[in-house]
Amino acid sequence: MKGTRNIALIAIAAIVLIFGVWGCNTYNGLISGEQNVKKSWSNVETNYQRRTDLYSSVIKTVEASANFEKSTLEEVVKARAKATSVTIDVNDPKTLEAFQQAQSGLQSSFGRLIASFEAYPDLKTTKAFQDFQTQIEGTENRINVARQDYNKAVETYNLKVKRFPGNMLAGMFGHSEKAYYEADKGSEKNPDIKFDIK
């Protein structure tokens, strides 16, 4: 009788230990995944900041040209201010959507600014503008890679949150799905911005 009781206690202890180890691993996996999502999003923001800084350099160059179309420039300055004022919470898809819209608005207004350079040959031949053309191409590539890395991190995390039995612990500890970075609406159409101005 005593031996049977000891076996039962050992079996219960083993089950508790197994569930304890599984629970710790699952919980730590969720925490690691969440931190990876945050780090990946930080890389996206860093690359957008690089783009904004490049845009600022061009804005300063354009402002130095006294007879440039001020309305076009003001539109870019306003769009830049809006894009840099959006606060992101990776747990809130609405803030991610607002950020995407603000960045899209900035890129669109800047595209109109670049297109208007055709009327200002002296401006588009400045070294600052030529440097910008090279740097912005690299920056756009970095942004694309950072967004892809973010989406991979979100996918890995979301799978941990949704798959059984991890989903039970995820729900208990308040872990929920994160939003993916989605393409801008209409981005499947060819853009009419050209950076090969001569």
CB 76, CB 109: distance < 8 Å: yes
CATH class of 2-172: mainly alpha
- The domain spans of the chain are 2-172
pLDDT band, very low/low/confident/very high, at 169 (cuts 50, 70, 90): confident
Name the residue type at position 80.
Answer: R
More confident call, 109 vs 153? 153
CB 122, CB 65: distance < 8 Å: yes
CB 186, CB 87: distance < 8 Å: no
Q: What's the whole-number mean pLDDT along residues 130-143?
A: 85
pLDDT on residue 196: 46
What share of the chain in percent tops pLDDT 70?
Answer: 82
Number of H helices, E strands in the chain: 6, 0
Alpha helices, H only, 64-126: 70-85, 93-115, 121-124
pLDDT on residue 188: 47
User: pTM, whole model, 2 decimals?
Assistant: 0.73
Cα R_g (the chain), whole angstroms: 25
More confident call, 9 vs 142? 142
Contacts of 56 (CB under 8 A, 6+ apart): 80
Convert the pLDDT of each residue in 30-79 to its tens digit: 999 999 999 999 999 999 999 888 888 777 777 766 556 677 778 888 88
CA 58 → CA 66, 106, 120, 178, distances in Å?
14, 13, 14, 35
More confident call, 165 vs 60? 165
CA atoms within 13 A of residue 111's CA, in its CB half-sphere:
10
Whether the predicted pLDDT of 194 surpasses 80: no
CB 71, CB 145: distance < 8 Å: no
